[in-house]
Copies of this chain bind each other. A is one copy, B any other.
Amino acid sequence: MNGTGVGGTVTMHDVAALAGVSVKTVSNVVNDYPHIRPATRDKVKRAIDTLGYRMNISARSLRKGRTGIIGLALPELSLPYFAELADSVIRAAEERGVVVLIEQTGADRQHELDVLTSERRQLTDGLIFSPLALGPDDADALKVDYPLVVLGERIFGGDWDHVTMNNVDAARAATQHLIDRGRRRIAVVGAHAGETMGSAALRLLGYQAALAANGIPFDPALVVEGGLWHRSTGAACTEQLLDAQVKVDAIFGLNDALALGALHALHARRIDVPGEIAVIGFDDIEDAAYASPTLTSISPGREEIAATAVELLLARIAGGSEPYRRVIPDFDVIERESTLV
Contact = CB atoms under 8 A, between A and B. Distances in A.
A261 B122 CA distance: 43
A58 interface: yes
Interface in A1-47: 1-3, 5
Interface string A309-333: 0000000000000000000000000
A37 B78 CA distance: 46
A54 interface: yes
A104 B94 CA distance: 10
A58 B61 contact: yes
Interface in A129-157: 144-146
Contacts of A232: 290
Contact of A122 (B55, B123, B286): B55
A99 B101 contact: yes
A2 B286 contact: no
Nearest to A264: B290
Interface string A99-120: 1111110000000000001011
Contacts of A56: 62, 122
A78 B145 contact: no
A190 interface: no
Interface of A: 1-3, 5, 54-59, 61-62, 65, 67-69, 76-78, 80, 83-84, 86-87, 90-91, 99-104, 117, 119-123, 144-146, 231-232, 235, 260-261, 263-264, 267-268, 286-287, 289-294
